[in-house]
């Protein structure tokens, strides 16, 4: 770890959210642990985002680095943020997020008290989230400060709900978002990381998630242009999570059907791309996809009528 660089990079991608950025800023001003930078990637905002950031910068309270790019998508902003980050750990903080005053301190202390051998297989830490009324979103983890994989937590222990945390920047650089057309679900990145590394699960709701608001930089509604990302999500689930089939078979049956559905939705030239081919769990994955392909084909026909 380079002592001349910040311990954390708090990363905020934003698009026309000037009226919300104060939430992250106010949270950062209150942090008890000060060794961090606030890295902002502006995805081509047309509002007064730049002026708001300049006002924050002039106060000289928080170490701010601001970059503006042409409007692309959250995935491109995220990749650029990871490339530019100086921190050892990377914390995504959307432009309307708030988090508790001791969040960074808790992340750091929880990680640093682990033994060195465990640290080598840890990608970071994951905490709980709460809504505006302070209610935990989803359920708690079965143990406190427990090292496990995200997939184990999701499938074996049935932990659901909004979660949040920090990830080693060096690991994220090995798993960039595919910069393809349309929306790319976040699990396309998080799933392969979770298969290789464990996370420290912290039973504290440190982030406040505003449930009645949408993020203008993200688009989730299915459209033809989003078929690439939906295909990658199905592929990723089959490749990296199939070992948990018997814990949640319906999830994998849906993923196998969606693999065929969205592969048919994308162009032939794209589907021939080697990065989109199923490579891991070849036999079981391909068998499941074959069995579920009639469902996928029917779903594709339904999409074609829209």
DSSP secondary structure of 179-218 = --SS---THHHHHHHHHH-EEEEEEEEEEE--TT---TT-
Rounded CA-CA distance 306/303 in Å is 5
Beta pairing, strands 146-148 & 89-92: unpaired
Q: Among 159-163, 266-270, 281-285, 302-306, where is mean pLDDT lowest?
A: 266-270
With CA atoms as reference, report the closest residue to 252 among 244, 263, 260: 244
Cα–Cα distance between 192 and 183 in angstroms, integer? 18
- Residue-wise pLDDT tens digits, 146-169: 999 999 999 999 999 999 999 999
Angle at 123 between CA 119 and CA 126, to 5 degrees: 110
Q: Which domains does the chain have, with CATH numbers?
A: 8-208 (3.90.550.10), 224-305 (no CATH)
Reported as a single tens digit per residue, the pLDDT across 84-140 is: 999 999 999 998 889 999 999 999 999 999 999 999 999 999 999 999 999 999 999
Give the CA diameter of the chain: 61
Neighbours of 127 (CB within 10 A): 23
* Structure confidence at residue 28 (pLDDT): 98
pLDDT at 127: 98
Beta-bridged to residue 165, according to DSSP, are 126
Give 279's pLDDT tier (boundaries 50, 70, 90): low
pLDDT tens-digit readout, 58-69: 999 999 999 999
Q: Taking residues 16-35, report their average pLDDT.
A: 96
Tell me if residue 130 falls in helix, strand or coil. strand
Q: Two tokens at 30?
A: 């209150």
* Contact (CB, 8 A) for 37 and 86: yes
What pLDDT is stored for residue 290 in this prediction? 96
β-pairing verdict for 64-68 and 89-92: unpaired
Q: Per-residue confidence at 181, pLDDT binned at 50, 70, 90?
A: confident
């Amino acid at each position: 770890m380079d002592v001349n660089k910040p311990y954390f990079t708090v990363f905020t991608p934003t698009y026309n959210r000037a009226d919300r950025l104060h939430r992250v800023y106010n949270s950062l001003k209150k942090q008890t642990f000060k060794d961090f930078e606030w890295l902002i990637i502006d995805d081509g905002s047309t509002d007064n985002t730049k002026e708001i950031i300049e006002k924050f910068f002039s106060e000289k309270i928080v170490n701010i680095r601001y970059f503006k790019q042409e409007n692309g998508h959250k995935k491109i902003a995220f990749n650029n943020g990871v490339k530019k980050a100086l921190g050892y750990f990377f914390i995504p903080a959307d432009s309307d997020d708030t988090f508790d005053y001791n969040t960074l301190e808790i992340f750091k202390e929880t990680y640093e008290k682990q033994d060195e051998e465990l640290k080598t297989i840890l990608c970071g830490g994951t905490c709980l989230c709460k809504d505006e009324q302070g209610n935990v979103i989803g359920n708690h983890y079965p143990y406190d400060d427990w090292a496990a994989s995200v997939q184990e937590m999701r499938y074996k222990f049935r932990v659901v709900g909004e979660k949040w945390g920090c990830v080693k920047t060096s690991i994220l650089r090995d798993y960039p978002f595919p910069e393809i057309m349309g929306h790319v679900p976040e699990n396309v990145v998080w799933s392969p990381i979770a298969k290789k590394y464990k996370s420290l699960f912290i039973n504290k709701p440190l982030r406040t998630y505003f449930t009645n608001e949408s993020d203008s930089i993200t688009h989730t509604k299915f459209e033809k242009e989003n078929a690439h990302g939906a295909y990658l999500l199905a592929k990723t689930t089959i490749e990296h999570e199939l070992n948990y089939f018997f814990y949640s078979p319906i999830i994998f049956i849906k993923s196998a059907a969606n693999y065929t559905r969205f592969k048919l939705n994308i162009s032939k030239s794209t589907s021939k791309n080697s990065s989109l081919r199923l490579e891991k769990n070849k036999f079981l994955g391909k068998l499941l996809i074959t069995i579920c392909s009639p469902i996928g084909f029917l779903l594709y026909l339904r999409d074609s009528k829209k």
